[in-house]
Amino acid sequence: MKKVILLLAFICCFAVAGGEKFPKYIILFIGDGMTYPQRMTAEEFVRKNGGKGLAMNHMPCHATTRSCSANSIVTDSAASGTAIACGRKTNNGRIGVDSSGKVKLESTAEFAARKGWKVGIVSTMVINHATPASFFGHRSSRNMYYELGLDMINSGFDYFAGGGINQKSRGYKGPQRADLYELARKKGYKTLNNRKEFLALKPGCGKIIYSASPGYMPAVIDTPQNFTALAEMTAKGIELLKNPKGFFLMVEGGTIDSCGHYNEAAGNLREVLALDEAVKAAVKFAEKHPDDTLIVVTGDHETGGMTMGCAATGYAMYPERLANQKCSAWKFAGKVKAAQKKNPALSFDAVKKMLSDDFGFNFKDPKSPMGLNSAQLKLLEDGFKKKRIESAVKNVINQKAGIGWTTGAHTALPVLTTSCGVQSSRFSGFIENSDISVKLKEIIR
């Protein structure tokens, strides 16, 4: 990590030396649902485990970023994504259009493509979800997934990777529509879903749509071995997009938001760490092209009202305890349900072994770091008996780590934007999320 920090400082200094320069490689990272608490919890976790912190947190330029939409202090991903992508505030639910839903807005990605740059979009969500769609879509509702899929194909962008394409618009009851993958192939895209084939791609292979999963990518905490990582899709995108003219690549860590909605602290942590690994892949590229590269890391909003500290631990926080959790709470609930189906008489004593294996709870020594007090033990037992084990285990592991939550929805917390490289000093101070696109368009040549 020390090497990464020194590298980031070198990139920044090199970029501003010898007169004004402009980047030809821009990599924008968006953590959906990620701001100060999410980034700093991951920072402290890494430090507790002997590291120096997150690469994204040690970039030299910082900006506090206001995230409100045109019609609400609390934004959704569609409005915030549109602001970050297009440089204009819009109403919640809108994608790539103004508040009226009628005027199309040009995104940074579209602007870069018009300038002759190659463009790539990466996300852990379905690829036509709100945030990625904000860079190629123009619809009055984020729920128009099929239509946004058409926008994606018609964008002509060079590289798409992540979750699959959602082909079902919410509320649509009309006739069956043409398969979007087939339409994409007719438009000249090569569509893949095999990781080995994906990793073997070489520059010059043409336009790519890679679906790492049929729908949303699984949460990192539940991801099987040899599953495509966000960092891999980022590195491959950089490899395929690199060209003398330039490229723009947007990478979204979308599952941070999902874990925030579920108040899943351990899952949230691992998603932020996965995004930081992708940032490191970009930094590695910037090391070879320090006078041509700009890296910007931001979030679209905060999710869950996450706090670093809670009443259960007083003036203490133990993020390192989240390492004990081996699967998501919803996956654990599925394991319990499967065990009960196999053995209808399954007892709570039998479930204790499962809880110890997957969450590290110590039922024998209440004074140990993962020991349980009587209230926590009762919470787990009641959760099992009332078939609410998912909620119970989340509450207890959050208490053990000292993580608090205020909601299952979004909040109006400002977002942290960090950057390094050519023109990174523009992303400093107090800015609007819409300023990000405005500033990027100003420096794309």
Domain boundaries, the chain: 2-306+410-443, 310-404
* DSSP 3-state of 158: coil
Residue pLDDT tens, the chain, 445 long: 555 555 555 555 444 444 689 999 999 999 999 999 999 999 999 999 999 999 999 999 999 999 999 999 999 999 999 999 999 999 999 999 999 999 999 999 999 999 999 999 999 999 999 999 999 999 999 999 999 999 999 999 999 999 999 999 988 888 889 999 999 999 999 999 999 999 999 999 999 999 999 999 999 999 988 899 999 999 999 999 999 999 999 999 999 999 999 999 999 999 999 999 999 999 999 999 999 999 999 999 999 999 999 988 888 999 999 999 999 999 999 999 999 999 999 999 999 999 999 999 999 999 999 999 999 999 999 999 999 999 999 999 999 999 999 999 999 999 999 999 999 999 999 999 999 999 999 999 9
CATH of 2-306+410-443, one of 1.20.970.10, 3.30.379.10, 3.40.720.10, 3.90.930.12: 3.40.720.10
Query: What pLDDT score does 14 carry?
Result: 45
Confidence (pLDDT) at 4: 53
pLDDT of 1 reads 54
DSSP label at residue 398: H
Instruction: Give residue-wise pLDDT tens across range 359-378.
Output: 999 999 999 999 999 999 99
Q: Are 300 and 410 in contact (CB under 8 A)?
A: no
What's this model's pTM, rounded to 2 decimal places?
0.94
CB-based contacts of 209: which residues, under 8 Å, 6+ apart?
Answer: 127, 160, 161, 165, 181, 184, 189, 190, 191, 192
As a residue count, the chain comes to: 445
CA distance 202 to 165: 23
